[in-house]
Amino acid sequence: MIVDLTRYLQEVNAIVLTAEEFVAADSIARLKRLPVDLGFGLESSAPKFKWATDRTRPIKLRPASAYDKRDGLPPPLLATFGFEASFDKSVTSRAKRARKLARIEGVSTHIKIYRDGQNVEDDAELPVLHLHVDKKDEAQLGPYVHIQVSEKCTERLGMRLAVPRMPFTSCLPTDCLDFALAEFFPRDWSKAQAGAYNFNLWRDAQLARAVAMAAGVLERFEENKKRSPVSILQDFWLAEDVQRA
C-alpha cells in the first residue's frame, strides 16, 4: 500500500491536536511526539524507517465512562493505544519519492482495555481485552486489513487463537486512534471533531482511503465468481503498488 507521507503528516498533526484532551496527562508528551517522529522519518535520507510508540509505555487515554449506551453510565474503563509501522521510500519511482510517497511494509496497532484502577504500565496487569489492527503479510490468511482479538488475550483462556480476523477500513494508526476514541468517548469525540483543526483534510483523507479500499475489494469480488463476497472478505490481498492513502 502506497501512502503520501507529506499529506499524512498534516493529518497526524490535526488528529493529535484534537485527541489531546482525551489522553491522560502523563501521556500527552508521547502523543505530541507522533508527528515529530514521523517528520524525522519523512525527511531522513535512509530509504526505510520505522514509526512507533514506546512498547513499554503506550499512550494512555483518560478514563471513559460514557460508552456503550446512549443513556446510563457503564463501569469506567482505561484504554491504551500503541503501534509500530514500517515504511519503504525506495520502492517508488523518483517522481513518487519527490512527492514523499512510500510503501507501508508493515503496520500493527494495539488497543488494550483495562478496568479503572489497573496500572496499565505494569506487565503483570492483564487487560480485559486486547485488540490489534494489522495489514496482513502474504503468508497470512484473512482480510488485507483486519482487526482481531490478540492471541495473548485468548491464550489466558486456554488457546492461542488468531481468528476470526474481521475486515477493517484502514491500517493507519491514526485511523485506529479515531476508532478507539469514537468507541470510548462517542459523544465528546463527535463534539471535538466538529471544531477540529484541519478537520476537512483529515476527513477527506479518510474518505479517499475508504473509497480506494472499497474499490480494491470490489475488484476481488468481480474477479472471483466462484466465491461469495463474504467469504472473499475473509481472505483477500490487494496490490501493494497502488496508492490507497
- pLDDT tens across 8-28, in order? 999 999 999 999 999 999 999
Residue 34 belongs to a domain:
yes
Res 98 pLDDT > 60: no
Residue 97 has pLDDT above 60, yes or no: no
Residue 22 cell numbers, joined: 482525551
Residue 245 lies in a domain: no
Q: What is the mean pLDDT of residues 36-47?
A: 92
Q: Tens digit of pLDDT for each residue in 157-207?
A: 888 888 888 988 888 999 999 999 999 999 999 999 998 888 999 999 999
Assigned domain for 239 exists: no
Domain-located, residue 244: no
> Taking 90 as the threshold, does the pLDDT of residue 238 lie above it?
no
Q: Give residue 129's Cα distance to chain centre.
A: 17
Q: Is residue 240 part of a domain?
A: no
> Is 238 part of a structural domain of the chain?
no
Q: Is the pTM of this model over 0.95?
A: no
Report residue 93's pLDDT band, with 50, 70 and 90 as the boundaries: low
Domain count, the chain: 1
Q: Is residue 60 situated within a structural domain?
A: yes
Residue 243 is predicted with a pLDDT of 66
Domain span at residue 161? 2-233
pLDDT at 126: 86
Query: How far out from the chain centre does Cα 57 lie?
Result: 17
109-163 pLDDT tens trace: 999 999 988 887 777 788 999 999 999 887 888 888 999 998 888 888 888 888 8
Which residues are CB-neighbours of 182 under 8 A, at least 6 positions away?
Answer: 189, 190
Q: Is the pLDDT of residue 96 over 60?
A: no
| CA-to-CA separations, 114 to 60, 130, 210, in angstroms, rounded | 11, 9, 30
| Residue 168 placed within a domain | yes
